[in-house]
Amino acid sequence: MALSDGVFKVRLQAIEYGAPGINLYTFEALDGQPLAAYEPGAHVDVVMGPDLLRQYSLLWPATHPARYQIAVQLSEVGKGGSRKLHFESVVGAVYEMSQPRNHFPLVPSDDEFHLFAGGIGITPIISMYRQLKASGRRVSLYYWAGSAQHMLFHDQLCRERQDDVRLFHTRSSGAVPPRLKDVLTTLPPSAQLYCCGPQGMVDEFDRLTLDRPEANTHRERFSATTDALQPGDSFRVRLQRSGLTLTVPAELSLLQVCEAAGVDVAYSCEEGVCGACEVKVLAGQVEHRDTVLTPGQRQRSESMMICCSRGVGDSLVVDI
């Protein structure tokens, strides 16, 4: 595990109930000094234990300059980060955390914004909604969850509720709620669309927005693609700054081979979802396997995530 630069210690200051299976965790700087500023969509890495690092979206705005707050859903299928926080964390405990990174930023636009959240995906989306509302932009928020009880920030969203917040209960016994498709088909091509939620929801968002300008569609995924960590073909790579040429065997990643060669590289999730291991591609073809780059960025191939993406053939040159 190698966090990017700027790791620092924070104290768990409060644990609050958010919704069934979801708690809010507030961390504060040990010296009480302001923490680095961040924008909606940013996340931090939290060190949960040896070789256990998890990424969580920061809630915006911060309630205090020296505090960060995250929402964590208890997961039965993850690597154990959420279980550690839900069952083992105590207020006052000290954790290590990375500086905020943002691969899901709001892109400035004069057009209307439409924000789509499913389940715990509301965390970056409500942050975006708050900022867009505060700056007087035209924005609508659509939030799907099992029931009102399962909605994080349900009461707050109901209090603020205007025509621009729509809450859909997928397990309600009443009328069937609109689906993502029903909403998307009503929106003009110029609309700025942001989506965060379970994999199926984001996959559907991608399918339904294929015909829209790429610059208008933005998404964030929580989990790796199914092929992210599968073995691939062996390839050779030139590390331009280190002056090394390495062979990456089928069962290893470029990241693992760099580490074995003693080359210092930053990384975090090791499954292509956080963006910490992104490096510049100087030449060659890449098989992109991450969930961070947009289809256009993949096509331009100016960078790659070395924890999962692979070179094709022997022509890859990277800026390491």
- Residues at the interface with ligand FES (CB under 6 A): 267-270, 272-277, 290, 292, 305, 307
What is the closest distance, in whole angstroms, from the C-beta atom of residue 305 to ligand FES in the complex? Answer: 4
- Do residues 125 and 194 make contact, with C-beta atoms less than 8 angstroms apart? yes
How far the first Cα of the chain sits from its last, in Å, is: 18
CB of 52 vs ligand FES, minimal distance in Å: 14
Least distance in Å: CB of 286 to ligand FES? 13
Measured distance CA(224)–CA(39) in Å, rounded: 24
Which residues lie closer than 8 Å to 1 by C-beta, 6 or more apart?
A: 47, 50, 51, 52, 53, 267, 268
- Tell me how far apart the alpha carbons of residues 243 and 260 are, in angstroms, rounded to a whole number: 15
- The residue (of 20 and 231) whose beta carbon lies closer to ligand FES is 231
Taking phi over 0 as left and psi of -120 to 50 as alpha, with beta for the rest, 82 belongs to: alpha
- As measured in angstroms, the least distance from the Cβ of 273 to ligand FES is 6
From the CB of 224, what's the least distance to ligand FES, in Å? 9
CB-neighbour burial class of residue 103 (10 A; exposed 0-12, middle 13-18, buried 19+):
buried
Nearer to ligand FES, 216 or 291 (CB): 291
Q: Examine residue 61 and say whether the peptide bond preceding it is cis (omega within 30 degrees of 0).
A: yes
Give the nearest distance from C-beta 304 to ligand FES in angstroms.
Answer: 9
CB-nearer residue toward ligand FES: 246 or 277: 277
Radius of gyration of the chain (CA): 20
Nearest residue (CB) to ligand FES, 13 versus 256: 256
> 67: which strand partners?
28
Nearer to ligand FES among residue 118 and residue 272 (C-beta): 272
Q: Which is nearer to ligand FES, 44 or 276 (CB)?
A: 276
